[in-house]
Structure formats: C-alpha cells, structure tokens
Amino acid sequence: MIKTYLYNHDENLMYHDIDLLEKDDLLSNPNNLLWIDMYNCTEYELNYIGNIFDFHPLALEDCLQQSPRAKVDEYDDYHFFVFHAIRYDEDATEDEITSIELDVFLGSNYIVTIHTVPLAAVGTIARVCRSSVRYMEHGAEHLLYNIVDTIVDESFPILESIGERIDDVEDNIFVYHGTEVTEEILALKQTLILIRKVLIPQRNIFSNIRGRYSFFIQDDNVPYFLDLADHLNSLLDTVNTYRDLINSAFETYHSVISGRTSEIITILTVISIIMMPLTVITGFFGMNVLIPGQSYPHIVWVILLSMLGLAAGMLLYFRHRKWI
C-alpha cells in the first residue's frame, strides 16, 4: 500500500494520492515536499518507487530484509536510514518486547518511509498531514525529526510500565519465594537488554562521540535534533538505571534464598544432632539381651526423662553458642 502526501509551498496546501509519474514537476520547486509512506508493500511496489527515485539496489534489498540495528547510509543525493520502534506486550507468552523496523529514504525535498506493520507514530503524523501543513512546511529533515521523535516518545510509557514491574519485584522479594519471582527478574533483564540494543544505535545516528551528526542537518533544524538526542540519552539513562536495579534485586533475592536455605539446613542439622544420641540410647535399651536395671519398674520413665534432659541440654548449649 502506497500513500502520498505533497506539500505545495506556493499554495501552502496539502495534496494526497498524487501521480508519482509527475514527481519531477512536483519537486521542481525545492520548497515543495513529497512524503511517500509504504505500508506492507510488495517487492514490485518497492522496485517501482526505487526506479522513480533511482534508489540503490543495496538499499532496496535492506528494505526487504530485517536489519538488526539502526543505521544511516549516505548516497549521492539522499540518505538511507533504518530505525526501530519498540512494541511492548507484558502479557505475551514469549517475547514481550519486539522491534518494528522503519526504513527511510531522505532526499532534499522528499522522504519515503517503508514499514511492514502499522506504526502508531507514522499514523499520527499522517493524520495531521491530511489537514495541516505544520509537519511538512519546514522541509524533509523536520518531517523526519517529527516521525522519529514520535517513535522515541512512545518509549517513555513503556519504560514507566517496566519501572512499575521492577518496583513490584522489589516488594515481592521478601514475600514470595518461588520460580515466579525468578522468571519475572529474568524476563525484565532480557527486556532491558533488547531495549538497549534498539536505542543505542539510534542514539549514535544523531550524535556520535565527537558531538557531530552522521548526516548534514540545516541550522534551523539543529535544535530539534539536539532535543531528539537528549530524549534518546534520557531513555538510555533510565534503561541503565533499571538494569542496575534489576541486577541488585536479583542479587538481593539470591541472598534471601541463600539465607533461607542456610536457615533450613541449620534447623535440620540441629534436629539430626539431637536425634543421634537419642537413637543410640533407644537402640542400646532396645537390644534383646539382659541389661542392668531393666527389672526396675520405672526404668522406662527414667530413660525417657534422661533423653528429654539430654535434648534440652543440647538445645541450651546450641542457644548459648548462638548456633540457633
């Protein structure tokens, strides 16, 4: 499916579903902007758009395959981007975090977006562009910023939900002792790892270690992309904080389980030690031979009281040594 949005600068109007064969005439004015959004497109449709704009075959091939990380490739008169949006489903049986790829061709006065499944961020921008020029009147770079910024903003509620889950885990560490807590901790650790794998490459697109961009940005749009990079840094800081919290929670849970196990072993050891001499006494007097004192009528009570006294004495000794 191919959707087209054209901003006519001279008329300050938006047009939709235009004839792409008139692309050269429509883009003859450098202030015009053409946005082509391709959703779940076929290989034929992709090659059709690629022939119109003379896109490189390698870039088109990347659109047909899943790229594992975000990137930007520079060509003669356009840039090719790969972004990833995060989709979160806490009730999923397998992967609660999945990434949705968004491929973007960015030219001087056109932009082509390609995605296989619906993207809420793209849909939000498209709905505005049907009736307003505010996203397209500032050029292709500004439209790219709005699309990516909307994708990034959708990640904040996801991290808030994950933060609430981490709080619940921290509260349940001292209450529940079972596989549920361990599975929840491991699921959160895996989720945070996948989010970092999505966010770090995207952050690197907009700001590298020297503070320069991976592609040319007009001066008017620099503040917007600085704000976008700041949002990505904020997300990564939050993810790193959550990662430290969940690691700390796992260590605490492991310590609680180890302490509880040690306590159980201590109790069982005390019981075993107490029972060992009692077992010797009962075994000795249970032999089928003549034993001194067995003719005494109250010998059973004497033996029983002696055994109870021995057990009580051992318990007092263990308590005195603070072993129990």
Cα 56 to Cα 59: distance, rounded to the nearest angstrom = 5
Per domain, the residue ranges of the chain are 1-153
Quick one: pLDDT at residue 157?
92
Cα 36 to Cα 48: distance, rounded to the nearest angstrom = 12
DSSP 230-278: HHHHHHHHHHHHHHHHHHHHHHHHHHHHHHHHHHHHHHHHHHHHHHHHH
Which residues, including other chains, have CB under 8 Å from residue 159's CB and lie 6 or more apart?
195, 235, 238, 239, 242
CB of 70 closer than 8 Å to CB of 84: yes
Task: Give the chain's residues under pLDDT 50.
Answer: 209-210
Cα 24 to Cα 141: distance, rounded to the nearest angstrom = 20
Q: pLDDT tens across 182-223, in order?
A: 888 888 898 999 999 999 888 888 875 345 556 677 778 888
Which superfamily does 1-153 belong to? CorA soluble domain-like (3.30.460.20)
CB of 176 closer than 8 Å to CB of 255: no
Cα 167 to Cα 208: distance, rounded to the nearest angstrom = 33
CB of 137 closer than 8 Å to CB of 217: no
Angle at which helix 155-172 crosses helix 179-206, to 10 degrees, equals 150
Quick one: pLDDT at residue 113?
93
Quick one: pLDDT at residue 290?
67
- 70: amino acid identity, one letter: A
Quick one: pLDDT at residue 148?
93
Which residues, including other chains, have CB under 8 Å from residue 172's CB and lie 6 or more apart?
181
- 166: amino acid identity, one letter: I
Quick one: pLDDT at residue 152?
92
Quick one: pLDDT at residue 214?
64
Residue 292 backbone dihedrals phi, psi, to 5 degrees: -55, 135
Cα 177 to Cα 6: distance, rounded to the nearest angstrom = 60
